[in-house]
Amino acid sequence: MNDITNLNWLLGEHNFTGSKLGDSEILAICLPGFSLSGEWMAKHYPSLWTNKTCYFLNWPGLVDLEAMDIPFDIEIISAWISQILSEKKWSKIYLIGHSFGARVGLKLLFERPFADDLILIAPVVKIKFWEYLIQAIPNATYIKLINHIFSLNSIQFLSKAAGKLGFLNIQERMFLESHFNSEKNLKFLKHYAISLKKLKMNKTELEFVLKTLKKCQIYLFKNDRFCQNTFWINLARDKYNCELILLNGGHFGRLK
C-alpha cells in the first residue's frame, strides 16, 4: 500500500482534516466509522484501495478539540465532497462508508447522487423505533439528555452491562471502553450522538438510493453486534441484488 498523505481543507470557517492515498482517474470518497480516523480506515481495508485515488475524511472533533463545538452539518461534508469532485474529471466515483460513515454516505447520496458505485462496510443504518422517539424530543431537552447519559461512569456501566447480556462481544466492548475513557473522547461521543437527529433516514429514502445505484457491495461480519445483518440480507440482496460478502469477525474486522 502506498504512503498516506495527511491533508487539511478549509471550508468556510470550518477546518477539516483527512488523508489521501493513491493517484488514479478513479476516485473513492471514504467515510470512516464513528470516532475512527481516515487513516484508520485506510489501513484497515487495504484491498479496497487498489488503483484508486482515495480521500479519507476525519470526522470533525476527532483531531481538533475546538471542532467538537461545531454542530454536525451534513452540508459542510457535502461541500468537502464537491471540492474533491471539482479537482479533475474523474472516470469513476466510489463512495465507501464504514459503520456510521455508511449512514452519512447514504444520506448524502439521497440528497445528491454523485456516485454510482457504493461500498458499505458493517453499515449501521437500520432505523429503529427509538430513533423515531429521538425525533420527537425537543433539541434542548435532547442535548441535556445526551450530556447526562454520556459520562465516564455511565459509559463504563453500560459497556459492562452490554457485555454481560451478550449485546457486545469482547472486541466491541474493549473498543468502546478504550475509545471513551476520557472527557475529551466523551465530548466527541456527545457531539455525534446529537448529530443523529440530523441523520434520520426512512426506509423509502434508503430504498431510493439502493435502486438508483449501478453497483453496491456490502461487507458484513458474522459476529457484528452493531450492524443489523439480517436487515441488509433481506433488503439489499433479496430486493436490490446488492453483492453481499459475509466475513468472520466483529464490527471492527479487517478486510485483507
**pLDDT tens per residue across span 185-240:** 677 667 667 777 777 777 788 888 988 888 999 999 999 888 889 888 887 766 77
List the one residue out of 123, 109, 84, 108 whose CA is nearest residue 214.
Answer: 109
In this structure, is the dihedral angle defined by the CA atoms of residues 237, 57, 33 and 25, taken in order, positive or negative? positive
Residue 200 CA: distances (Å) to CA of 63, 123, 203: 26, 15, 10
Instruction: Say if residues 7 and 18 touch (Cβ distance below 8 Å).
Output: yes
Q: Return the pLDDT at 185.
A: 67
Q: What is the pTM of this model?
A: 0.79
Residue 176 CA: distances (Å) to CA of 98, 104, 133, 158, 179: 16, 20, 24, 10, 5
Neighbours of 252 (CB within 10 A): 20
Cell 471540492 sits on residue: 83
Q: What is the DSSP letter of 234?
A: I
- Whole-angstrom Cα distance, residue 165 to residue 132? 25
- Whole-angstrom Cα distance, residue 220 to residue 125? 13
Domain range summary for the chain, segments of one domain joined by +: 1-127+201-256, 129-199
**pLDDT tens per residue across span 68-104:** 455 567 888 888 899 999 989 999 999 999 998 998 9
**What's the topology of domain 1-127+201-256?**
Rossmann fold (3.40.50)
